[in-house]
Structure 1
Amino acid sequence: MGNKMRILYAEDYELEAELTKIILEENEFIVDIAVTGEEAWNAYNRQKPDILLLDLNMPLKDGIEVTRLIRKKDPLTRIIIYTSHGEPEKEIAALDAGADEFIPKNRTPDVLIAHLKALRQKMITCLNVPHVYELSPITTFNAVARTVTIQGEATLLSSSEARLLQLLCVKSNQIANMDYLVKGIWKDATIGKRKRIKEYVCRIRQPLKKDPSIKIEYIGNDYEEGYMLITAPSPS
């Protein structure tokens, strides 16, 4: 693989796909484009990419179905949902299907490039493990084992706390609104759950106090309410 990472980008808006391809290739990525979910699935089977960058809304097969199909045969390839359609139900469904994280299209291309460069570095150093999130140079969260590890010291979270932290991780440095968090943990059982979210956040903050570079901030205004996981950048 060398330092060049191959990305399969599934996006049905061809102009947007081509513009993104140009930007990424200027930054030393190899990019293949699929304009339908079916084409993405076939392209994956022809040549496995290092990363899948998937839109959610695509003809023939949507991003959730493609994610589910790939995860049945491949637990390791990184799957990033890159979309402007961020309804909580779809994001949760993509996460449950096996997606690793979300990057919204309304952020600048520099955000996507920086994220992919950091991921490339992890792959080179063999740190690219799905569902293991590097929150800072000294802190990781393993969503499967439900453990936060800071400088080698591990803390086990409850299943609900771990699910909440995973939901925050996949939207790292973005606002995870309450609707998304509640549905991600309890699906349709939403009555009285906002208070529980607050309680879980308080518990998760306790072990994270050992790493002051990581914060979980409450965000509340007239338009949105939720939490943001603020993580420290990896060293370049």
Structure 2
Amino acid sequence: MEEKFKILLAEDDENLGMLLREYLMAKGFETVLKPDGEAAYDAFMKQKYDLCILDVMMPKKDGFSLAQDIRVLNSEIPIIFLTAKSLKEDILEGFKIGADDYLTKPFSMEELLFRIEAILRRTSGVKQKEQQTYQLGKFSFDTQKQTLSDESSTVKLTTKESELLKLLCSHANDVLERNYALKKIWIDDNYFNARSMDVYITKLRKHLKDEPGVEIINIHGKGYKLIIG
């Protein structure tokens, strides 16, 4: 029998916490609910979890402080913040601490599930996927040096180009969700950043145009897919 993913849920709103816990349990996740940051930290110390969902505004220890404490113990575990405020400073603060994602209340259960599954797909394959070099047909992409090379030339990518290509590579032949990429790289999925990302996608296509086996395609209404033949 496959072992269940274990989620630590820290939420001080009792009704929302119970609803989320029941929903996640019904979807096959073993879920431990704690009503404040201190209780959640104690729970984290006692057993192993695969993912944390932390409310930002909590008594005794807020979500950001809790996340920082958790990160000291485990730098890899995915963290999703639940925030009642969509203040950019809050979101930036969360990403600085190392959030993998955030949801602004009110949100739908389905959206939370979608985010969890996307993160777990990424992180459960992280050992194979957290690699320094990707082979894209005749091109070799070095994520550390931010270079794209073939036998005859090397192109130095900008940081944004490199981050975007790395995300595409880690989702190769799978959909890279547009909003996820925007939040991960640009922090905010607003209109201007979305236009900016389109420009970078165009730049990456130009870099890869001499390799017919590699293509970045648009998935209407969802995002992009890096096709590696």
TM-score by length of 2: 0.64
Q: Are 2:11 and 2:36, in contact at CA under 8 Å, matched by a contact in 1? A: yes
Contact 1:56 1:85 in 2 (8 A): no
Say if 1:201 and 1:128 are closer, same or farther in 2 by CA, change over 3 A: same
- The answer to whether the Cα contact below 8 Å between 2:146 and 2:158 also exists between their aligned partners in 1 is no
In 2, the alpha carbon distance for the partners of 1:205 and 1:67 equals 36
Structure 1 residue 67: deviation in Å? Answer: 1.4
CA-CA distance at 1:25 after TM superposition: 0.7
Higher Cα Rg, which structure: 2
Q: What CA distance in whole angstroms lies between the structure 1 residues aligned with 2:219 and 2:146?
A: 16
Deviations 1:78-113 (A, max 9, x none): 111122322110111111111111133333211212
Q: TM-score, normalised by structure 1?
A: 0.62
In structure 1, distance between residues paired with 2:155 and 2:100: 22
Task: Verify the 8 A CA contact 1:146 1:158 in the aligned structure 2.
Answer: no
What is the alpha-carbon root mean square deviation over aligned residues? 4.2
CA distance in 1 between counterparts of 2:145 and 2:53 reads 26
Match of 2:32, SS state, is: strand
Counterpart residue number, 1:158:
158
Partner of residue 44, structure 1 = 44
Answer 1 or 2: higher relative contact order, Cα 8 Å, separation at least 6: 1
In the other structure, the counterpart of 2:115 is 115
- How big is each residue's C-alpha offset from its partner over 1:187-211, in whole Å with a ceiling of 9 and x where there is no partner? xxxxxxxxxx976763454215741
Aligned counterpart for 1:177 among listed residues 190, 195, 198: 190
Counterpart Cα distance in 2 of 1:129 and 1:83: 30
Equivalent AA in structure 2 for residue 46 of structure 1 = K
What is the identity, as a one-letter code, of the residue corresponding to 1:16? Answer: L
Distance 1:42 1:72, change over 3 A: same
Question: How much identity, in percent, do the aligned residues show?
Answer: 24
In structure 1, how many angstroms separate the alpha carbons of the residues matched to 2:51 and 2:203? 34
Residue 227 (structure 2) pairs with residue 230 (structure 1): no
For residues 115 and 157 of structure 1, do their structure 2 counterparts lie closer, same or farther at Cα, with a shift above 3 Å needed?
same
1:212 partner amino acid:
I
Partner SS for 2:42? helix
Residue number among 203, 208, 211 corresponding to 1:206 in the alignment: 203
Equivalent residues in 2 for 1:32-181 (5 A)? 32-126=32-126, 145=144, 157-159=157-159, 169=181, 171=183, 176-177=189-190
8 Å CA contact 1:76, 1:129 repeated in 2: no
| 1:119/1:128 contact within 8 Å kept | no
What count of residue pairs does the alignment treat as equivalent?
190
Contact 2:37–2:60 (Cα < 8 Å) also in 1: yes
Residues in 2 aligned to 1:198 and 1:14: alpha-carbon distance in whole angstroms: 40
Query: Is the CA contact (8 Å cut-off) linking 1:80 and 1:102 kept in structure 2?
Result: yes
Check whether the contact 1:64–1:94 (CA below 8 A) recurs between aligned residues. yes
Q: 1:10 to 1:145 in 2, by over 3 A?
A: farther
